[in-house]
A and B are shown apart, each in its own frame.
Chain A
Amino acid sequence: MAKKPYQPPVQSKGGQIFDSFFILALVYAALLTPLLLGLGASNGATKHQTAPTWESLHQNTTMAQQWEKLGYTPKTAAPIIEQQFDYSINYGYLLLTIVVIGGYFFFMLKASRKEYLEVIDEKFGDDSH
């Protein structure tokens, strides 16, 4: 026997507008949070040379020639060349990231499954004898 189909409430105009803006506000929050916490892309510290030359920047003649064609001198190129990523792993932080992503998928799949069974039962009739 199929159960009575679920009748959703009708959403008011105001509610519809509020919901659209709620999601937007959430997106901006996610974009801005890393900035507010002062956590940009984690580039490692750059070591500054006072009087860089192409040699001291480890650029061979061809590289130096291409840099110059692009309009750079050793002084202007130095900040670009010396920029380094820091790939040292902070295991506590890594673990936190794994827990967050794992937890997200776990919760989502569990909740989806519950909702999905409801959909299937309403669509094809209840089959739990």
Chain B
Amino acid sequence: MTDATTASAPPQPQRLQLLRVLGPVHVWALGVGIVLVGEFMGWNFSVAKGGAMGSLIACWVIGLLYTCVAMIDSEVTSTVAAAGGQYAQAKHIVGPLMAFNVGMYLVMAYTMLEAADALVVGDLLHQVAGQFGYAMLDPKPFVVLTIAVLAWLNYRGIFATLSINFVITAVAFLTIVVLFFALKPWDPTAALHHKELLTGLPYGWIGVIAAFQFGIWYYLGIEGTCQAAEEVRSVGRSLPLGTMTGMITLLIAASLTWYVASGLVPWQYLGQASVPLFDTARLTGSRFLEVFLFVGTLFSAVASANGTITDAARAWFSMSRDRYMPQWFGAVHPRFRTPFRAVVFLVPVAVSFAFTGLLDQVITFSILSGLLGYTFMSFNMIKFRKQWPLGSIKRAYTHPFHPVPAITLMALCITTYFATYLGYGSQLLAMMGFYIVASLWFHFHRYKYVRRADQFTMPWPRPRLSR
């Protein structure tokens, strides 16, 4: 490989890198950990938009969208193994401005999700204190505490962070499974009332499409597994394995959640509940299930906040390392080997998002940033196969049926934009405004600080480009 720039800047003898210590279990814990909270809160807003049946259809259609995402991501990431995940993919395959935008999608989607998770912890404790007769509990210190503890964990090292995440995520998943079996699904009329509670589609089929927007919550964040790429041992095997098993876990969890909730809770209540699975447990009349689901909700929110700190910090770190953002943030801690400055910087940002009191704006911003990222993945995949056909570089994993997943993904993304337009049109425009202004800022101002050829770090041959 001839390389003009490395010749002029000899490699330094001593280099700090992120620690490569993670296995497939951690990848699963990072991916599922971020997402699982979506089953405990958030998915049910899709019930408000399209009714309970509409939500189920959304759950499966969006499940298909995410299966495409996981397939595409596994192939690209098994070759572009960098902490930026999709950001590094965009940089190598589409171009710098796209990469800047993808990096911003990641930071925004994750930091805002982190704020929402911390708010859930605060609210839940507030509710419990209320049940014990103290209705005045201030959720704020617990919101800050959640973020502070997790930031501290992330600062101190990735291995312990994600090992803990594995345990709490597994417990949270178990609570859903236990709730499902406690309701005797083999005897559908014993404890559940689907027959009486399920109504037709309250808004018809347009409501089903509108429900796609919050159907995203069943899975949002599973693609975050890629951010750990720089810290995973044998990336080519672990990442696809962790991501795919994560996706299967989520499909199961989403279906179980819908089944128990829709069989116990009237849909209008479900559509606006802040902690739907906990409410479902309350309706069973079992004290044990109530406590268990409280623990599940709490753990899932903590696991999610934890994973989002990990991911947002890595995205911010990678962008800074390339000077897309101030390079000061691109530092690695000499002992803990974590992107420590990025972790610290995002703490006040997340706290301030949590304290704005704009929870639905924050959630919508998070969903839309995710959606923009999926749109990117669809054409990214097509470009990837075109610029480096099979056989031209080593791929540890090749997904089947190309280009069907990419095209399906694109079609589903367009439908979901329309779903967001239905009911949340003004938020959609405000957030597009943000990305447009940020893009102009990057293209005309920020990009001048970026070294050109240095961004391309993969040992690949020249891409096949038609000029």
Contact = CB atoms under 8 A, between A and B. Distances in A.
| In the complex, A touching B (Cβ < 8 A) | yes
Nearest to A10: B449
B434 interface: yes
B11 to A, nearest CB: 16
Contacts of B99: 112
Interface string A60-102: 1111001101101000010011010111010001101100110
A112 B269 contact: no
B432 A70 contact: no
A23 B264 CA distance: 45
Given A16-B328, A69-B283, A122-B4, A85 B462 contact: no
Contacts of B436: 100, 104, 107
A5 B453 contact: yes
Given A60-B196, A66-B266, A87-B210, A97 B451 contact: no
Interface in A1-48: 2, 5-6, 8-9, 11, 15-17, 19-20, 22-24, 26-35, 37, 39-43
A128 interface: yes
B349 interface: yes
A111 to B, nearest CB: 5
A59 interface: yes
B5 A97 contact: no
Q: Is the interface of A mostly helix, strand, loop or mixed?
A: helix
Given A27-B108, A34-B427, A37-B426, A94 B421 contact: yes
A125 B272 contact: no
Contact of A23 (B282, B426, B438): B438
B449 A81 contact: no
B96 A112 contact: yes
B455 A119 contact: yes
A15 B8 CA distance: 27
B422 A115 contact: no
B411 interface: no
A119 B96 contact: yes
Contacts, number: 210
A105 B375 CA distance: 10
Contacts of B98: 108-109, 112
B441 interface: yes
Contacts of B465: 117, 120
Contact of B97 (A35, A93, A100, A112): A112
Interface of B: 2-5, 8, 48-49, 94-99, 101, 104, 108, 193, 196-197, 203, 206-207, 210, 264-266, 268-269, 272, 279, 282-283, 285, 323, 325-329, 345, 349, 353, 356, 358, 360-362, 365, 375, 417, 421-439, 441, 443, 446-453, 455-456, 462-463, 465, 467
B97 A31 contact: no
A4 to B, nearest CB: 9
Contacts of A124: 462
Interface of A: 2, 5-6, 8-9, 11, 15-17, 19-20, 22-24, 26-35, 37, 39-43, 59-63, 66-67, 69-70, 72, 77, 80-81, 83, 85-87, 89, 93-94, 96-97, 100-101, 104-105, 107-109, 111-120, 122-125, 127-128
A87 B206 contact: yes
B279 A111 contact: no
25 contacts: A5-B452, A8-B448, A9-B448, A11-B323, A26-B437, A29-B434, A31-B361, A42-B426, A66-B283, A67-B266, A67-B269, A70-B265, A70-B282, A80-B269, A85-B422, A85-B423, A97-B432, A100-B436, A101-B432, A111-B97, A112-B98, A118-B452, A120-B463, A122-B452, A123-B456
Contacts of B424: 41-42
Contacts of B327: 11, 16
Contacts of B196: 60-63
A5 B9 CA distance: 12
Contacts of A118: 452
B96 A116 contact: yes
B3 A123 contact: yes
Contact of A26 (B375, B434, B448, B456): B434
Contacts of A109: 94-95, 98
B430 A30 contact: yes
A112 B5 contact: no
